[in-house]
Amino acid sequence: MQWHSGSIAEAVSEAKKKNKLFMVYIEGNDDMSKTMTATFNDPSVCEKLMSENVIALKLVANSVPYMQFCQIYPVLVIPSSFFIGGNGAPIEIITGSLLPTEFCSKLEKVFEVYRKSYPISVAEKSEASTQNSSINQPSTSSAGSNSEPSNTNQSLEDKVERAKVLIEAQRQSKAAEEKEKEKNDEIARRNMGKAMQQANLTKKEAEMQEWAKNRAKDKEEERLAREKVKAMIAQDRAEQAARYEKFKASEEAERKRIQQKYDEEERARKEAVTNSNEAHLQFRLPDGSYSTHCFSADAILEEARRFVREEVRPPFSNFSLCTTFPRRQFSESDYSETLRNLQLAPSAVLLILPEQAVSSINQSANFISSMFWFLLFPITSIWNYIRSFFTGADPPSLTQPNQTVPSSSENSDKNTDKRQPNIRRRESPFAKREGNVFRINNQSDDDENNTWNGNSTQQM
């Protein structure tokens, strides 16, 4: 491609002087500029430009001539090709890179617009060619020479008239092109808005899908963690239940073993009492002397009292028979019972005490018991009240410490009958009630239910 070697001003002046189309090519350093430069160097493009006598000027981007050119014609895209008419207005601006065939088709349109925009120059060109051809031809007649001025004036008017028509057509074409361009720009703007809106919707949908995916992932992790915790809790509960069942089984086995042992001892004691046919009784006097005699297990207690009167002969006439453990004073109704029923078989120790001594002992014992109970009553009341919250049982009814204690003669008949009910009314393993006295007990029921004989040397 043959480019103009002068400056911008020289190229413009030459284009105006020769009334030629002025083209400016802005070249950059990118691949598109290289492609467009190769298009300009194509032989078909070069032949096309040279045939139309186009003044072509090439400017390098960011150079001084480029800056001067940008002050008049703003350059938005590099590379760009500006086609400027004789009035200085751009006819066409081609941006970007095109292939030679596409660029040639663009040049055809540009040349066509240029011919329509500047018809006078074309007419002058044809007239000049006509004049050049008429110089070589001889004049034929004088009449023809005389009619030449009138034909010239008429052709001038026709040319002006035709130029006006062409200008009006060009103006209308330009207005139609501008309207079409505005319409295309509006369509492009709407399409761009729709594309941007669609892009925003697509972006939002992608964000929502990502959020839903993350939310589902978080829920799944929470569910797995919750199931893991539930499994751990269930495992702990199962282990606790297993330990409890094991402890309960061992406790039940121990209780059964103790109960079995107690039942065996109780059975052995009952068998010993049942199988025993003799009752060895030892009678002790207050002075420490004693006497032993063997009775039949089925003999009544009256025989023992008769034996004391006849054989032992205590120094007092009125006496009573008592046992040390369990503490018991026999009443008149007990003398008709057998020794087996009174649990005096196979052996027992009977104390021979005068009636007055028994009464005084009972009164002193009752006084001590009353004083002890008077001091212990507030503590036991508080203890029973607290215990009722845990056991759910009503606290046992307590006898007031200032309650009048009946005499020994009145209590002697009721002592035996009330001993078993008192045992049945015990409501807690921590306290034992005997009459009006509660004993705090920390031993097992086996020790409480053991029966001792009168010698206190053998546990039945």
Residues 414-440 pLDDT 10s: 443 433 333 344 445 555 666 666 666
Q: State how far the alpha carbon of 309 is from the alpha carbons of 283, 286, 290, 305, 449, in Å.
A: 11, 15, 14, 6, 34
Cα–chain-centroid distance for residue 251? 43
Give the residue-averaged pLDDT of 247-257: 91
Of the pLDDT bands very low, low, confident and very high (cuts 50, 70, 90), residue 151 is: low
Q: State how far the alpha carbon of 207 is from the alpha carbons of 195, 216, 220, in Å.
A: 18, 14, 20
> What local confidence, expressed as pLDDT, does residue 263 receive?
87
Cα 145 from Cα 131, distance rounded (Å)? 14
Question: What tokens appear for 421 in the block?
Answer: 């009910």
Cα 309 from Cα 352, distance rounded (Å)? 11
**E strand or H helix at 70, and its extent?**
helix 64-72
Cα 350 from Cα 454, distance rounded (Å)? 7
* Angle formed at CA 383 by CA 377 and CA 387, multiple of 5 degrees: 145
- On the question of pLDDT at 325 being above 70, the answer is yes
Q: In this predicted model, which residue has the larger pLDDT, 165 or 331?
A: 331
Question: What tokens appear for 9 in the block?
Answer: 């001003």
- On the question of pLDDT at 305 being above 50, the answer is yes
Q: State how far the alpha carbon of 130 is from the alpha carbons of 134, 260, 306, in Å.
A: 6, 152, 190
Which of 399, 283, 368 is closest to 330 using CA atoms?
A: 283
Give the residue-averaged pLDDT of 178-197: 90
Q: Which residue bears the tokens 């430069």?
A: 37
Contact by Cβ (8 Å): 26, 61: yes
pTM above 0.85, yes or no: no
Contact by Cβ (8 Å): 429, 441: yes
Tens digits of residue pLDDT in 361-393: 555 556 676 777 777 777 877 887 787 766 554
pLDDT above 90 coverage of the chain, percent: 15
Tens digits of residue pLDDT in 16-60: 888 788 888 888 888 888 888 888 888 888 888 887 778 888 888
Provide φ and ψ at 426, rounded to 5°: -70, 130
Q: Which residues contact 252 (CB under 8 A, 6 or more apart)?
A: none
Q: What is the three-class DSSP state of 91?
A: strand
What is the amino acid identity at position 379?
I
Of the pLDDT bands very low, low, confident and very high (cuts 50, 70, 90), residue 154 is: low
Q: State how far the alpha carbon of 135 is from the alpha carbons of 122, 150, 152, 295, in Å.
A: 20, 19, 16, 191
Cα–chain-centroid distance for residue 34? 61
Cα 385 from Cα 190, distance rounded (Å)? 91
Cα 97 from Cα 320, distance rounded (Å)? 144
* Angle formed at CA 368 by CA 366 and CA 373, multiple of 5 degrees: 90
Do the strands 347-354 and 431-434 form a parallel or antiparallel pair, or are they unpaired? unpaired
Q: Which residue bears the tokens 């663009």?
A: 106
Of the pLDDT bands very low, low, confident and very high (cuts 50, 70, 90), residue 243 is: very high
Of the pLDDT bands very low, low, confident and very high (cuts 50, 70, 90), residue 207 is: very high
Q: How far apart are the first and last CA of the chain?
A: 140
Question: What tokens appear for 386 in the block?
Answer: 């607290």
Contact by Cβ (8 Å): 399, 373: yes
Mean pLDDT of the chain: 75
Q: In this predicted model, which residue has the larger pLDDT, 118 or 247?
A: 247
* Surface-to-core class of residue 401, CB atoms within 10 Å of its CB (0-12 exposed, 13-18 middle, 19+ buried): middle
Contact by Cβ (8 Å): 45, 1: yes
Cα–chain-centroid distance for residue 239? 26
Beta bridge partners of 437: 434
**E strand or H helix at 411, and its extent?**
helix 408-424
Cα 61 from Cα 74, distance rounded (Å)? 13
Q: Which residue bears the tokens 């121990």?
A: 254
Do the strands 22-27 and 80-84 form a parallel or antiparallel pair, or are they unpaired? antiparallel
